[in-house]
Amino acid sequence: MRALRVDKMTLAALEATLRSYQRGRALQEIPIWQMIGAGADAMRERAVAWQIALQAHGIQTQIRHAQSAIGGGSLPGETLPTYVLALSGAQNEISASLATKWANALRQQPTPVVCRIQEEQLLFDPRTVLPVQEEMLIQSIRNVYADLS
C-alpha cells in the first residue's frame, strides 16, 4: 500500500472547491458544472461563432448535432446533447489520414488542442472549451490550416 502525501497547494485547491459547494456557488465557480449546466442552444451559438471566425479565413466547417460525454469513472456512459464544429476540409470532407495529421498537429500547438475524429471529420465541442479559451482555439486551428494547406 502506498501513502498519499498532500501538499499545501492541493489542500488549498480542495478547500476552495469545498467552500464553493458550501456557499451554494459550485455551478457558477466550478468549470465542470458550468460545462454540464450549459444548454445545447448555447453550444450551437458558440459553434456558429467559431464557424464564422474560421470561414473568414477560408476554413470550411459544418455545425453538427452530437452528444458530449460528461464523465468517465464517475458518470460512465452519461451524455448531454450538444452541437459541434466539424472541420470538413476544402471539399467538405477530409480523409482519415488527413484527419489524423490535423489532430496530431493541433496537439503540437503551444497550447495543445484535443478534438474528436468521427466519420473522417474533426469535431470540436464547445462544451469542452471555456469561453476564455476560444480565441486560442480559433488561432490554433488557423495555424494548422496554414501549415497543412
7, 69: one domain: no
pTM, to two decimals: 0.82
11, 68: one domain: no
61, 111: one domain: yes
Residue 115's domain is classified under what CATH number? Answer: 3.90.1150.110
> Between β-strands 61-69 and 116-118, what pairing exists: parallel, antiparallel or unpaired?
unpaired
125, 57: one domain: yes
Mean pLDDT, the chain, whole residue set = 90
Total structural domains within the chain: 2
68, 33: one domain: no
* Cα gap 116→67, rounded to integer Å: 12
Rg of the chain over Cα atoms, rounded to whole angstroms, equals 18
pLDDT at 55: 94
pLDDT at 90 over 70: no
At 24-73, the pLDDT tens digits run 999 888 888 888 889 999 999 999 999 999 999 999 999 999 999 887 77
Report in angstroms the alpha-carbon separations of 22 from 17, 18, 25, 146.
9, 6, 8, 48
Greater pLDDT, 3 or 105: 105
128, 56: one domain: yes
pLDDT at 11 over 60: yes
pLDDT at 143: 96
